[in-house]
Amino acid sequence: MISLLNPNKKDNFLNKWILRITGRAKKLVLPGFERVPFYDVVIFFFRGIQNGALTTRASAIAFHFFLALLPAIIYFFTIIPFIPVDNFQEGLLNLIEDILPGNVYELIQNTIQDMLIKRRGLSYFGLFIALIFSTNGINAMIVAFNNTYHTIETRTWYERRLIAVLLVIIIFSLITLSVSLITFSRFTVNTLVEMELMRKGLTFYILLTGKWIIVILSIFTAISFLYLLGPSRRMKWKFRTPGSTLASLLVILTSLVFSYIINHFGQFNKFFGTIGTIMVILIWLYLNSLVLLIGFELNASIKNARIEFDRINDKEI
């Protein structure tokens, strides 16, 4: 008799717990959710995740950005001599090393060193290749954003290409600004230590904290521009959105965790050699593409939930 009653008690407890959580979620309104209950947004969000073929779209974006990655890096390092910041190249390499897995960084570093030796005549060709492939990557992301709304692209090929070029320039500019700020902050802190205005023990923690604040803000700004300018359907979004905040944090977290796993447990190089490194790059790009789509899906869910919320309220009135 006891064995028959216990499952019911457990089920009743679980049902009450679910109802309690659901009731609170229906009353909870988070900042940036446009006064729409958290529960309604979650319903639209998981519906979009389930029916939106996010993994397929992320794979397409990752492939196009893989084609864009090395040409873009080559061109960027080609124009470094024209950037008036001391030790800029060293700072950029250190930043890349912190974010990427070790074997991926080694491949990129070897490519960069080979390119620097043969720099002559690379600038214009590198610019052309970087723009072509980088804009193709952005275009793939634009298509993925439009699929979230099931929107037909109404902009001309020329307009889409201009938007893609603009986004590439914005991303390059943010990278330049980030490395410049990190380099300048390191110089400033070291100067303060030499002048005995700051204790040497604090230097490391100040530089580390400042560097990651700059990196997070730069990633957040880049993602916000992608969400704002990318989709064909013009939504009245603010520049700072819950989706861009979520995506920025997930990009950092995903990159750090993935790098740690590959550096400490990955055996791709031992089994596959250089092909293993390419696999790691593709997986890293795929994960970050998926994160970008998840952030965009959250913004779209908030908007769709708001439209449904207003429609229901209008009917009641």
Quote the pLDDT of residue 119.
55
What are the structure tokens assigned to 173, written together? 């500019």
Q: Name the pTM for this structure.
A: 0.78
Burial class (CB in 10 A: 0-12, 13-18, 19+), 62: buried
* Cα–Cα distance, 230 to 167 (Å, whole number): 9
Residue pair 142/166 in contact by the 8 Å Cβ criterion? no
Quote the pLDDT of residue 3.
44
- Residue 109 is given by DSSP the state H
The alpha carbon torsion through 130, 144, 235, 305 (nearest 10 deg) reads: -150
Quote the pLDDT of residue 46.
83
* Cα–Cα distance, 287 to 72 (Å, whole number): 20
* Cα–Cα distance, 274 to 153 (Å, whole number): 38
* Cα–Cα distance, 251 to 207 (Å, whole number): 21
Tens place of pLDDT per residue across the chain (317 aa): 334 444 555 566 666 667 777 767 667 777 777 777 888 888 888 887 887 788 888 998 899 888 877 777 766 777 777 777 777 777 777 777 777 776 677 777 776 776 666 555 555 666 677 677 778 888 888 888 877 755 556 677 778 888 888 888 888 888 888 877 777 777 776 677 777 666 666 666 766 677 788 888 889 999 999 988 888 766 666 778 888 999 999 998 888 888 777 777 656 656 666 677 778 888 888 999 999 999 998 888 888 887 777 777 666 55
* Cα–Cα distance, 267 to 82 (Å, whole number): 39
Residue pair 279/268 in contact by the 8 Å Cβ criterion? yes
Residue pair 276/92 in contact by the 8 Å Cβ criterion? no
Residue pair 29/39 in contact by the 8 Å Cβ criterion? no
Quote the pLDDT of residue 313.
65
Q: Give long-range contacts, CB 8 A cutoff, 24+ apart: 264-273.
A: 266/101, 266/103, 268/103, 269/103
Cα dihedral 225, 306, 149, 23 sign: positive
Amino acid residing at 93: L
Quote the pLDDT of residue 292.
93
* Cα–Cα distance, 114 to 172 (Å, whole number): 22
Compute CA distances 191 → 85, 194, 200, 210, whole Å. 17, 5, 11, 16
Compute CA distances 272 → 78, 198, 266, 267, 268, whole Å. 30, 49, 11, 9, 6
Quote the pLDDT of residue 168.
85
* Cα–Cα distance, 94 to 68 (Å, whole number): 21
- Enumerate residues 6+ apart whose C-beta is below 8 A from 280: 101, 103, 104, 262, 266, 268
Residue among 27, 38, 51 at smallest CA distance from 302: 38
Quote the pLDDT of residue 6.
46
Quote the pLDDT of residue 291.
93
